[in-house]
């Protein structure tokens, strides 16, 4: 497929560009980039498409939204607020909702797209993490992804804060508290950002500039970088028959994947539009305008800030007074520690793993999560930690809907946020090892055929037949970690310099954690290894094309 | 039944069985569990009260906890001086007579009809003082200023009852109930008498006109359609996050699975 000439329409267009910019060779190569056929590789695309929808609907909203805190009296069509004093920002959002044609739909699509943007970024990141797709050579793209995620959180928070309704004002009040809780500079930082006292007239216009210009610009640039790197490096793929480090099996971008991606964009848009049409989101007219003396039950941020909200809710009310300065641990710790742990941990992880395992090899074959029990277990620890904090952010709704005591939920989460991740670690590790044992068992004994045989002695046995080649290839695709080059001691009994000291010991322990409890898959096999990582690279010479990194790994099949 | 034999060996069969079992248990539980908070909205109709009849009803249904002369016992407070409004609220919402004493007495189907409720209220009022049942005009939502009511509601009520009156959690297993079933009289009486965990909003804190405004806001808000589609329970971003993840992301991931699905494989020897 990849060696065929593209149809005339495309060739013509490429020719036109080539005659002017000399890009035909570049485009031809890039158009053939292969996308693996697995649904989990589409998760990042949901984020991309949501982002496009966000840009489009957001532009529509800017045409009517007025980022101003000037006080006005409402005289629009929503009679229940008639004559109420409110800010221009809230007033114009009401106007978008009730007086601008299609305005409410656009607002709701924008908001749902934001929820799905962050949600799909999250699951995309989890997929990359659990399959080890962040490993060399993709560490930089992993870091860019983390940057995208962090900015997306901030962008969401700012968008949520712009309409100046009761919930957004409450959120801003917490933002203010978090700024103030930063030791020494907190008060100055808050006055600098808000331009005076809370809420003031400056913050909403400033947020607006950041929300519609600064962050989207950076996001766009990072998305561009993310995709260019992806295109250059190619996709990872799961282990399987004929799959190797030197190829990618899947569909080429042109023409197959382009159509699939177009269809998937339509699906994403359809689901977001469906939600925007049939599920009401952020009904600011019910919340009412923000006034500092009002608050409502069920004051929650959007879901992606939920884990910070949860941390704040379960944090004990600790404050210390040092030399006349109050340090508000009750706000500072929940604002910085969970986010810091997760994001810093995620950013350092690829490098920690490389350092601890000594694995500096290039990886294009994704790990099956079970084959990296330590990584999977640590990942689930973080997921559990995040998930519990997230649930704690909705503790009042949980208490109300499930008829449990509010304080009981608070105390439950205070304990669970420490115990839960520890349990998750051990449970995940045991599950991974169990699955590895099952894999080894399948390779060794074959799969159950469903045929029951009775032996002359009267014993019943189930006949096992050898696994199919496709399944075997998946199971034996596991790549063992290399032996760490550091030795404990040399032949004279002297500890090696790299193993000494706290760092050396840490590295040894971490290496132990990464490599221990491994079930070898090839140990009892029939003795032939037909699916080693490099065995298949020349099997489809027609598909292998010399050239760039991405192109040379591309094999497509139909 | 051959298809069962064939299907139960599929990889998804286990998940399907678990899902089906959960669904059956859920439906069965919903069907069997007692529903204590279903209530009829009792229309208020003023009529002359028969104190003696009320006392008789009181002796039958209330005196075991509140004492023979409504003086109160270990289990229940004295009712002398609570007024007719308090009795009307508690009895017409079905909270009294209480079934069992939990952290909070839930709303349920009223035991007494309107006439009996008024008779008991008349008896308690005859024991001395307390706020009276509000008149039709005092609770008329049509003559209340809903915009002012909204402001007052956000300042005084929303922190417990939620911005749309959907209810919320309080400490110690108590809760602010949703306001979807409360009649205008009951809302007025609740403000006036402060039942259970609710504070009293007397006529100097909230004037009768302000109370009427709040009633107008509550009744208009709950009958108002959701212009944006399904209201998701009007509980705020928690429900939105849940819908976004389960429905939104769920549907898109199913689409992704469909798009990337391979054609069913043919048998090798065909």
| Residue A401 belongs to some domain of the structure | no
By the 8 A CB rule, do A292 and A169 touch? yes
Q: Work out the minimum CA distance from A489 to partner chain B, whole angstroms.
A: 50
Question: Are residue A199 and residue A71 in the same domain, yes or no?
Answer: yes
Compute the average pLDDT of residues A447-464: 89
Query: In the structure encoding, which two tokens stand for residue A355, read together?
Result: 């350092």
Closest chain B residue to A402, measured at CA: B169
Nearest Cβ partner for A303 among B160, B235, B237: B237
pLDDT in tens, B147-175: 999 999 999 999 999 999 999 988 888 89
pLDDT in tens, B2-34: 777 777 777 888 888 899 999 999 888 877 765
User: CA–CA distance from A217 to each of A55, A372, A541 (Å)?
Assistant: 10, 37, 43
Compute the average pLDDT of residues B221-244: 91
Q: Is the pTM of this model over 0.90?
A: no
Question: Are residue A156 and residue A231 in the same domain, yes or no?
Answer: yes
| Residue A517 belongs to some domain of the structure | yes
Residue A502, C-beta contacts closer than 8 angstroms, at least 6 positions apart: none
B189 band by pLDDT with thresholds 50, 70 and 90: very high
Structural domains in chain B, sorted by start:
25-133 (1.10.760.10), 134-245 (1.10.760.10)
Mutate to test the interface with A, among B11, B147, B150, B163 (most CBs of A within 10 A): B163
Residue A432, C-beta contacts closer than 8 angstroms, at least 6 positions apart: A369, A370, A371, A372, A373, A376, A377
Output the CA angle A316-A320-A322, nearest 5 degrees: 165
End-to-end C-alpha distance for chain A, whole angstroms:
8
Sort out which chain B residues have CB atoms less than 8 A from A86's CB and list them.
Answer: none
Residue with tokens 């949703």: B178
> How far apart, in whole angstroms, are the C-alpha atoms of residue B177 and residue A313?
22
Compute the average pLDDT of residues B210-236: 92
A258, A286, A304 - which closes a domain: A304
| Residue A342 belongs to some domain of the structure | no
A108/B248 Cβ within 8 A: no
A257, A288, A304 - which closes a domain: A304
Q: Work out the minimum CA distance from B214 to partner chain A, whole angstroms.
A: 11
Given a cut of 50, whether residue A525 has pLDDT beyond it is no
Closest chain B residue to A410, measured at CA: B171
Residue A115 contacts B where some CB pair is shorter than 8 Å: yes
Which residues partner with A73 through β-bridges?
A85
Sort out which chain B residues have CB atoms less than 8 A from A272's CB and list them.
Answer: 248
| Residue A332 belongs to some domain of the structure | no
Sort out which chain B residues have CB atoms less than 8 A from A287's CB and list them.
Answer: 163
Element at A230 (helix H, strand E): helix A215-233
Comparing A216-220, A320-324, A481-485, B54-58, the range with the smallest average pLDDT is A481-485
Q: Work out the minimum CA distance from A261 to partner chain B, whole angstroms.
A: 9
pLDDT at A212: 96
Sort out which chain A residues have CB atoms less than 8 A from B228's CB and list them.
Answer: 104, 108, 279-281, 283
Question: Are residue A27 and residue A49 in the same domain, yes or no?
Answer: no
A283/B234 Cβ within 8 A: yes
Question: Are residue A11 and residue A65 in the same domain, yes or no?
Answer: no
Given a cut of 50, whether residue A519 has pLDDT beyond it is yes
Query: In the structure encoding, which two tokens stand for residue B196, read together?
Result: 């259970």
pLDDT in tens, A189-212: 999 999 988 888 999 999 999 999
Question: Are residue A154 and residue A280 in the same domain, yes or no?
Answer: yes
| Residue A187 belongs to some domain of the structure | yes
Domain that holds residue A451: 432-557
Question: Are residue A80 and residue A23 in the same domain, yes or no?
Answer: no
Closest chain B residue to A46, measured at CA: B252
Nearest Cβ partner for B244 among A112, A396, A405: A112
Question: Are residue A490 and residue A460 in the same domain, yes or no?
Answer: yes
Sort out which chain B residues have CB atoms less than 8 A from A260's CB and list them.
Answer: 259-260
| Region for residue B88 given its phi and psi (left: phi exceeds 0; alpha: psi -120 to 50; beta: otherwise) | alpha
Question: Are residue A143 and residue A12 in the same domain, yes or no?
Answer: no
The structural domain count of chain A equals 3
Q: Work out the minimum CA distance from A497 to partner chain B, whole angstroms.
A: 50
Other residues' Cβ atoms within 10 Å of the Cβ of residue A49: 24
Comparing A202-206, A390-394, A465-469, A500-504, the range with the smallest average pLDDT is A500-504
Question: Are residue A510 and residue A456 in the same domain, yes or no?
Answer: yes
B247/A82 Cβ within 8 A: no
Question: Are residue A17 and residue A119 in the same domain, yes or no?
Answer: no
A250, A271, A304 - which closes a domain: A304
Q: Work out the minimum CA distance from A320 to partner chain B, whole angstroms.
A: 27
B237/A302 Cβ within 8 A: yes
Q: Which of A:464-493 have CB within 8 Å of B?
A: none
A498 band by pLDDT with thresholds 50, 70 and 90: low
| Residue A390 belongs to some domain of the structure | no
A347-352 long-range CB contacts below 8 Å, 24 or more apart?
Answer: A347/A143, A347/A146, A349/A129, A349/A134, A349/A378, A350/A134, A350/A135, A350/A136, A350/A139, A350/A142, A351/A139, A352/A510
Closest chain B residue to A123, measured at CA: B249
| Residue A12 belongs to some domain of the structure | yes
Compute the average pLDDT of residues A42-63: 95
Residue A38 contacts B where some CB pair is shorter than 8 Å: yes
Q: Work out the minimum CA distance from B174 to partner chain A, whole angstroms.
A: 7
Given a cut of 90, whether residue A483 has pLDDT beyond it is no
| Residue A343 belongs to some domain of the structure | no
Compute the average pLDDT of residues A108-135: 96
pLDDT at B7: 77
pLDDT in tens, A374-383: 999 999 999 9
Closest chain B residue to A403, measured at CA: B173
Closest chain A residue to B159, measured at CA: A296
Sort out which chain A residues have CB atoms less than 8 A from B240's CB and list them.
Answer: 111, 115, 279, 281-282, 302-303
Sort out which chain A residues have CB atoms less than 8 A from B236's CB and list them.
Answer: 167, 296, 298-300, 397
Q: Which of A:247-276 have CB within 8 Å of B?
A: 260, 263-264, 267-268, 271-272, 274-276
pLDDT at B269: 53
Sort out which chain B residues have CB atoms less than 8 A from A404's CB and list them.
Answer: 173
Q: Which of A:183-222 have CB within 8 Å of B?
A: none
By the 8 A CB rule, do B104 and B172 touch? no
Q: Work out the minimum CA distance from A450 to partner chain B, whole angstroms.
A: 9
User: For residue A78, how many C-alpha atoms fall within 13 Å in the half-sphere facing its CB?
Assistant: 29
Compute the average pLDDT of residues A429-449: 89
CA A257 to chain CA centroid, Å, is: 23
Nearest Cβ partner for B234 among A277, A286, A408: A286
Q: A–B: how many Cβ contacts below 8 A?
A: 204
A528 band by pLDDT with thresholds 50, 70 and 90: very low
Which residues partner with A87 through β-bridges?
A71
CA A175 to chain CA centroid, Å, is: 24
Question: Are residue A114 and residue A146 in the same domain, yes or no?
Answer: yes
Nearest Cβ partner for A115 among B155, B229, B240: B240
Question: Are residue A148 and residue A245 in the same domain, yes or no?
Answer: yes
Sort out which chain A residues have CB atoms less than 8 A from B221's CB and list them.
Answer: 80, 286
Q: What is the CATH number of the domain that holds A264?
A: 1.20.810.10
Given a cut of 90, whether residue A352 has pLDDT beyond it is yes
Q: Work out the minimum CA distance from B32 to partner chain A, whole angstroms.
A: 17
Residue A411 contacts B where some CB pair is shorter than 8 Å: no
A272/B228 Cβ within 8 A: no
A264/B255 Cβ within 8 A: yes
pLDDT at A37: 80
By the 8 A CB rule, do A182 and A332 touch? yes
A487 band by pLDDT with thresholds 50, 70 and 90: low
User: CA–CA distance from A148 to each of A131, A207, A214 (Å)?
Assistant: 20, 18, 13
Q: Residue B97, preceding bond cis, omega within 30 degrees? A: yes
pLDDT in tens, A145-173: 999 999 999 999 999 999 999 999 999 99
């Amino acid at each position: 497929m990849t060696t065929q000439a593209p149809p005339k329409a495309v060739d013509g267009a490429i020719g036109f560009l080539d005659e002017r910019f000399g890009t035909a060779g570049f485009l031809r190569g890039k158009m053939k980039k292969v996308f693996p056929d697995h649904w989990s590789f589409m998760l990042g695309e949901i984020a991309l498409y949501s982002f496009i929808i966000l840009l489009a609907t957001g532009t529509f909203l800017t045409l009517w939204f007025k980022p101003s805190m000037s006080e006005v009296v409402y005289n629009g069509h929503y009679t229940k607020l008639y004559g109420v004093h409110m800010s221009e920002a809230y007033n114009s959002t009401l106007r978008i909702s009730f007086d601008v044609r299609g305005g409410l739909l656009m607002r709701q699509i924008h908001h749902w797209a934001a929820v799905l943007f962050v949600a799909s970024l999250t699951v995309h990141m989890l997929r990359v993490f659990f399959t080890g797709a962040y490993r060399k050579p993709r560490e930089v793209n992993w870091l860019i992804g983390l940057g995208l995620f962090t900015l997306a959180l901030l962008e969401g928070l700012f968008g949520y804060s712009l309409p100046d309704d009761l919930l957004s004002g409450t959120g801003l009040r917490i933002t203010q508290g978090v700024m103030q809780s930063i030791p020494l500079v907190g008060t100055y930082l808050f006055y600098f950002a808000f331009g005076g006292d809370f809420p003031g007239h400056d913050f909403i216009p400033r947020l607006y500039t950041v929300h519609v210009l600064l962050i989207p610009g950076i996001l766009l640039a990072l998305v561009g970088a993310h995709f260019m790197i992806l295109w250059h490096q190619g996709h990872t793929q799961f282990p399987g028959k004929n799959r190797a480090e030197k190829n990618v099996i899947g569909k080429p971008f042109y023409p197959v994947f382009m159509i699939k991606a177009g269809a998937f964009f339509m699906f994403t848009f359809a689901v977001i539009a469906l939600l925007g049409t049939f599920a009401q989101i952020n009904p600011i007219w019910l919340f009412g305008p923000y006034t500092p003396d009002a608050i409502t039950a069920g004051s929650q941020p959007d879901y992606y800030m939920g884990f910070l909200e949860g941390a704040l809710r379960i944090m004990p009310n600790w404050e210390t007074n040092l030399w006349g300065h109050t340090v508000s641990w009750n706000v500072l710790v929940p604002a910085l520690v969970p986010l810091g742990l997760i994001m810093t941990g995620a950013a350092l992880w690829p490098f920690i793993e490389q350092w601890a395992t000594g694995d500096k090899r290039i990886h294009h074959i994704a790990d099956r999560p079970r084959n990296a029990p330590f990584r999977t277990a640590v990942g689930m620890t973080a997921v559990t930690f995040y998930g519990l904090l997230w649930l704690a952010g909705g503790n009042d709704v949980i208490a109300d809907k499930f008829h449990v005591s509010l304080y009981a939920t608070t105390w439950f989460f205070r304990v669970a946020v420490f115990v839960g991740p520890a349990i998750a670690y051990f449970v995940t590790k045991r599950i991974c090892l169990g699955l590895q044992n099952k894999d080894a068992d399948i390779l060794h004994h074959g799969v159950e055929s469903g045929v029951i045989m009775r032996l002359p002695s009267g014993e019943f046995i189930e006949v096992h037949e050898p696994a199919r080649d496709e399944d075997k290839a998946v199971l034996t695709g596991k790549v063992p970690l290399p032996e760490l080059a550091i030795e404990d001691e040399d032949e004279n009994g002297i500890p090696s310099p790299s193993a000494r000291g706290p760092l050396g010991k840490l590295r040894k322990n971490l290496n132990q954690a990464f490599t221990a409890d491994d079930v070898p898959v090839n140990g009892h096999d029939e003795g032939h290894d037909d699916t080693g990582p490099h065995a298949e690279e020349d099997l489809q010479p027609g598909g292998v094309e010399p050239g760039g990194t991405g192109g040379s790994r591309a094999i497509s099949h139909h | 039944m051959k298809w069962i034999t064939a299907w139960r060996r599929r990889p998804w069969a286990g998940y399907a069985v678990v899902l089906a079992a959960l669904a059956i248990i859920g439906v069965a539980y919903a069907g069997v569990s007692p529903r204590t908070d279903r209530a009829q909205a009792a229309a208020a109709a003023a009529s002359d009260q028969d104190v003696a009849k009320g006392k008789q009803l009181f002796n039958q249904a209330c005196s075991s906890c509140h004492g023979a002369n409504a003086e109160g016992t270990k289990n229940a407070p004295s009712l002398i001086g609570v007024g007719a409004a308090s009795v009307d609220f508690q009895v017409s919402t079905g909270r009294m007579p209480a079934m069992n004493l939990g952290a909070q007495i839930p709303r349920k189907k009223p035991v007494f009809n309107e006439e009996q409720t008024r008779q008991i209220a008349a008896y308690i009022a005859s024991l001395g003082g307390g706020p009276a049942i509000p008149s039709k005009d005092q609770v008329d939502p049509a003559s209340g200023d809903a915009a002012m009511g909204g402001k007052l509601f956000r300042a005084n009520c929303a922190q417990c009852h939620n911005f749309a009156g959907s209810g919320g959690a309080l400490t110690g297993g108590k809760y602010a109930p949703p306001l979807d079933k409360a009649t205008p009289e009951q809302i007025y009486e609740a403000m006036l008498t402060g039942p259970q965990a609710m504070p009293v909003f007397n006529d100097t804190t909230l004037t009768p006109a302000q109370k009427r405004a709040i009633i107008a806001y509550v009744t208009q808000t709950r009958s108002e359609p959701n212009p944006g589609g399904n209201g998701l329970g009007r509980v705020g971003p928690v429900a939105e996050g849940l819908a976004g993840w389960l429905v939104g992301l769920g549907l898109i991931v199913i689409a992704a699975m469909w798009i990337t699905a391979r054609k069913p494989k043919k048998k090798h020897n065909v």
